[in-house]
Amino acid sequence: MPLIRFRKPRPEIEVPAGTNLMQALLGQGIPVASSCRGDGVCAKCRVEVVEGNRNLSKENDLEKFLRDRHQIERNYRISCQVTVEGDVTVDAGYW
Ligand code: FES
């Protein structure tokens, strides 16, 4: 199963392939900024992908819209809009 790792010292998380990234983090008690609770409106749930962006689902239309609207850099993903398909390392400034 895919592993979610972190840049900062924190235990890795093992999740089934296809798990929503934001839900995986929240499920382990890791805070994820949000004001829309995963509805794809706020873009606050973005996380930096340190390694393994290819192991996340492809950008969907909503993520593309949010990326353009909020000028989000390519190394960040909108966590409520992506699924984990392989190992990935992520970070957020507030962790
Ligand atoms: S939680 Fe609002 S866009 Fe992801």
Q: pLDDT by residue (tens digit) across 79-93?
A: 999 999 999 999 999
Q: Write phi, then psi, for 61 (nearest 5 degrees).
A: -60, -35
Which CATH number is 56's domain given?
3.10.20.30
Q: pLDDT by residue (tens digit) across 4-56?
A: 999 999 999 999 999 999 999 999 999 999 999 999 999 999 999 999 999 99
pLDDT at 27: 97
Q: Distance (Å, rounded) from C-alpha 70 to C-alpha 6?
A: 24
- State which residues form the domain around 13: 3-91
Q: Per the structure, how many domains does the chain have?
A: 1
CA 1 to ligand 1 centroid distance, Å: 25
CA 32 to ligand 1 centroid distance, Å: 9
**Whether 35 contacts 44, CB under 8 Å:** yes
pTM value is: 0.96
Secondary structure class of 83 (helix, strand, coil) = strand
pLDDT at 60: 97
Q: pLDDT by residue (tens digit) across 59-77?
A: 999 999 999 999 999 999 9
